[in-house]
Every structure is written in C-alpha cells, then in structure tokens.
Amino acid sequence: MNIFEPRFTDENAAREHLEALHWPNGPVCPHCESTDAKRLPAQRGRKTKAHPEGKLRHGVVQCNNCRKQYTVTVGTVFESSKVPLNKWLYVNHVLCSSKKGTSAHQIARNIGVTYKTAWFMMHRIREAMKDVDDSPMGGFGKFVEADETYVGGKTKNRNAKQQRRFAEKRRDPHGNKQPVVTLVERDGKARSFHVAKVTGETLRHALVTNVDRYSYLMTDEHKGYQKVGQEFGKHGVTNHAKREYARGLVHTNTVEGFFSILKRGIVGVYHHVSEAHLHRYTSEFDFRYNTRKMDDFDRSNASLLGAIGKRLTYRRTSSLQA
C-alpha cells in the first residue's frame, strides 16, 4: 500500500474516491433515493474553536425532489464523524489488508487520534464488513464444514478473583471462554456466529438457517451434530478424539484453518475481545476470508461499498472496549 496515494492524504480526493464507488451514475439522495440533484459550492459549517469562521464543507449536494442537502457520507458508517475522510479510508485499507487485523492502539498512533476514537472507527468499519447476504450456503454436490471453537484466555493467566470464579465453574472445561460456531463452504464463504452455548439446539439453528439441505455436511464427532446431520444430503464425521482428521473428502480441515487465523488474530493482535463485541470481530475475519481472492485494493473498495446503510452510533456500542 502506498500511504501517499491522494485518497489517503487529501480529504477531497478521498471524497471523490468514495463518490465514484457509491455514486457511479451520479448522486443519489439518501432521504428519498432521487437522482435529480445539483451540486452546491462549498458550504460553511458550524463555528468551532478550531474553525471560528466555520469549516468549509465540500461535496454538498441538494436534492431537487425533497430539497434536502447531503454528502456521500450520509447514511453510511462515516456519517457525523469529525475525523477527516482520508483517515477513514486509510484505516479501512489497513484493516482490510492485514491478514490477522490491526490493533486500535496502532491505528491511533498512525493517524494521530485517541485510542477511543480509533477503537470506535474500527468497529464502524467492522459493521461495514458485515455480510448481508443470507442466501443458503452449499447446495447439491457441495461440501459445508461446521465446527465450534472457544475464544478467551487461559485460566492460569487470570487474576486471583477470576481464578476463584473459574474454580466454581470447574465442571465446565471451557470456563468463561466464549463459543463461536463457524460454517465454511469449501471454495466458498465462511459465516461465524457467537452463540451463548454449544448445544444440539444452537448448532441445528445455525445449520438449518444457513445451509442448503442438499449439501454434504462435514463435522467432527460432537454429539450436537448427530441428529441434525440426518437432515442433510450426507453427513461425514471425523473422530478427532481418536486422532482421525481426514478420510478422503471427509474432514473439517478448512474450517480448522479458518479458526487458526481467527485465534492468532485475537491472541496476537487484539489480545482481548469482550463478549459484547465478539460478533463484530468474527465479521471482520469472515470478510477477509470471503474476499481472499481479491487484492487489497478491491477488498478495501468492497468494504467501502458495504458502508452504505449501516450507521453505527457510539450509543449502540458497549462501554467495554476491546
């Protein structure tokens, strides 16, 4: 990535890049979806201490139908942000091109903002990465692998109070770790879900609502898959407890590979992920996996296109920062 490209260093160039993606055929009103509009000269914004005369707002468009004014950021994750748009595009590119993610502390140092601002920016971008395609995975003759993992630190690394709590839950081998269920179509997409508990009911719900019943389902020996596996075209099972990891086409190595990247990202880059935001982090790793055949430029543009209609306010995020 060339950090000196115009869209990363100039706010107007960043806006023009976003307009070219969001409005390939000209401005579209986010309020009434009309394409009848006219561009206005730069407008003076509100007066602030930093800009006593009011900062110039470029790229303002007025709808000739509803008469409302807007810019390309209205109705996107970038709306109402005081951070320059070129910095938004830079952070988006870094997050899309880093295989295991990038920490908010690193982003804060790179663009000169507070950790809180960088943390919120990254959650907004993860919101843009969220896949809105809910069409069934797999199909006749296709293989879908399903598996579960647990995200969280080791018990020995917790403080004394946390270890006492864990001792009270010693019957649960996973303690306070958070379960994640992932479905991966071979040579296709991945979908991950943060679930409250891994049971036959939660596994069945994830499978029947996301996977075509004619698919070949591949799982390990977990009992939660036994009954629901009968509802699919074929159910292949490998017994990891007996060190069986593949038997011809019957294996879950694809989803295991996805988990290896997910866990290395969380352990090595983010270090800690709160339960409240785990679903956003899984969306980030799903997005990079699903766009793995794209180059960094196209992947970044795909994320920018996903920003439309996904506003995320700070109120919607938890006070717990991960």
| Average pLDDT along the chain | 88
Give the pLDDT of residue 321.
Answer: 44
pLDDT digit string, tens, across residues 98-154: 999 999 999 999 999 999 999 999 999 999 999 988 899 999 999 999 999 998 766
How far apart (Å, rounded) are the C-alpha atoms in residues 320 and 272?
11
Confidence of residue 316 (pLDDT cuts 50, 70, 90): low
Is the pLDDT at 59 greater than 50, yes or no? yes
Give the pLDDT of residue 175.
Answer: 59
- pTM for the whole structure: 0.87
Is the pLDDT at 56 greater than 90, yes or no? no
Give the pLDDT of residue 46.
Answer: 73
How far apart (Å, rounded) are the C-alpha atoms in residues 159 and 17?
48
Which of 20-29, 58-67, 143-152, 168-177 comes out lowest in average pLDDT? 168-177
φ/ψ region of 86 (left if φ > 0, alpha if ψ in -120 to 50, else beta) reads: alpha
| Residue 77, both tokens | 């994750």
Confidence of residue 322 (pLDDT cuts 50, 70, 90): very low
Question: Which residue segments constitute the domains of the chain, with CATH numbers given?
Answer: 143-290 (3.30.420.10)
Instruction: State the residue for tokens 């069945």.
Output: 204
Is the pLDDT at 2 greater than 90, yes or no? no
